[in-house]
């Protein structure tokens, strides 16, 4: 089974939000407004990963929450369970099937990753180049190129409908395409601080990177 760890925070770190659009549809303006004004988000998601031949290698459902700066939680629930949680300093990747947790320093997990677009801090232009804005499938899209060539991603695109971010599309350095469709999006919800604290279950192995 193609596990989330192989995309490490690819999808983690890739999620949804709601924000007002300009009078005329403009994905670039929406992304910048989100980056400047969104402090927290919660949503359900459906994530599909295909290889460079277009064959499906992952199809999962779950829920996510984020609170800027740098706190997020992705709970993958079907067809298998995994968690990706950041407390603002470390990122915990918990695989329930393997009973194993991988811990990474947050500074090594963000940078020009999809997570930096949604949960990171600092100027948007510091890590990404906004390359174009277009309309497709009734969505207003904006594409970004990570400035860090070692980020693992070649392109990250976000699609908006009305005032809500509906989809996220990413292409990694291996040619895998990750598509995330969001639903039940709540903009700037109140999220309990304990949401982003990982509690280590008994009998689980911890692996540091």
What mean pLDDT value characterizes the chain?
79
For 108, list phi and psi in degrees, rounded to 5: -90, -10
Q: How confident is the model at residue 19 (pLDDT cuts 50, 70, 90)?
A: very low
Q: Which CATH code of 2.60.40.1510, 3.40.50.1000, 1.10.10.10, 2.50.20.10 fits the domain covering 4-208?
A: 2.50.20.10
pLDDT for 116: 59
Average pLDDT over residues 197-202: 91
One-character DSSP codes across 95-122: ETTTTEEEEEEHHHH-TTSHHHHHT--S
Cβ–Cβ < 8 Å for 42, 190: no
Weakest mean pLDDT among 120-124, 163-167, 177-181: 120-124
Contact, 175 vs 52, CB < 8 A? yes
Q: In what order do the strands lie in the sheet with 90-95?
A: 128-136, 139-146, 153-161, 164-172, 177-187, 40-50, 56-67, 71-78, 82-87, 90-95, 100-105, 205-208
pTM given for the model: 0.80
Sorted by sequence, the CB contacts under 8 Å of residue 32 that are 6+ apart come out as: 124
Higher pLDDT, 107 or 57: 57
Is pLDDT at 166 greater than 70 in this prediction? yes
Burial of 21 (0-12, 13-18, 19+ CB in 10 A): middle
**pLDDT band at 7; cut points 50, 70, 90:** very low
Structure tokens at 29: 């303006």
Among the residue ranges 159-163, 193-197, 203-207, the one predicted with the least confidence is 159-163
Q: Please, what is the Cα angle at 47 between 46 and 53, to 5 degrees?
A: 140
Q: Is 188 helix (H, G, I), strand (E, B) or coil?
A: coil
Residue 161 above 50 pLDDT? yes
C-alpha to C-alpha distance for 154 and 30, rounded to whole angstroms: 21
Query: Percentage of the chain with pLDDT > 70?
Result: 78
Taking a C-beta distance cutoff of 8 angstroms, is the pair 12, 74 a contact?
yes
Q: Which pLDDT belongs to residue 151?
A: 72
- Domain residues of the chain, as ranges? 4-208
Confidence of residue 48 (pLDDT cuts 50, 70, 90): very high
Q: Cα(181)–Cα(159) distance, rounded to whole angstroms?
A: 9
Q: How confident is the model at residue 198 (pLDDT cuts 50, 70, 90)?
A: very high
At 111, the pLDDT band (50, 70, 90 cuts) reads: low
pLDDT value, residue 13: 46
Q: Kindly indicate the confidence band of residue 131, based on its pLDDT and cuts at 50, 70 and 90.
A: confident
Burial class (CB in 10 A: 0-12, 13-18, 19+), 90: middle
């Amino acid at each position: 089974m193609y596990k989330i760890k192989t995309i490490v925070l690819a999808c983690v770190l890739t999620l949804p939000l709601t924000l007002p659009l300009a009078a005329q549809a403009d994905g670039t303006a929406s992304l910048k407004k989100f980056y400047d004004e969104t402090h927290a988000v919660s949503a359900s998601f459906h994530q599909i990963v295909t290889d460079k031949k277009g064959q499906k290698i992952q199809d999962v459902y779950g829920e996510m929450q984020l609170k800027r700066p740098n706190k997020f939680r992705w709970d993958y629930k079907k067809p298998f369970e995994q968690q990706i949680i950041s407390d603002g300093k470390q990122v915990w990747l918990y695989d329930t099937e393997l009973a194993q947790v991988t811990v990474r320093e947050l500074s090594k997990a963000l940078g020009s990753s999809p997570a930096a677009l949604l949960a990171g801090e600092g100027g948007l232009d510091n890590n990404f180049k906004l390359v174009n804005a277009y309309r497709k499938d009734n969505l207003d899209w904006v594409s970004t190129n990570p400035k860090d060539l070692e980020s693992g991603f070649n392109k990250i695109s976000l699609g908006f409908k009305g005032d809500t971010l509906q989809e996220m599309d990413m292409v990694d350095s291996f040619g895998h395409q990750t598509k995330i469709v969001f639903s039940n999006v709540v903009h700037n919800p109140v999220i309990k601080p304990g949401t982003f604290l990982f509690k280590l279950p008994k009998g689980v192995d911890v692996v540091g990177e």
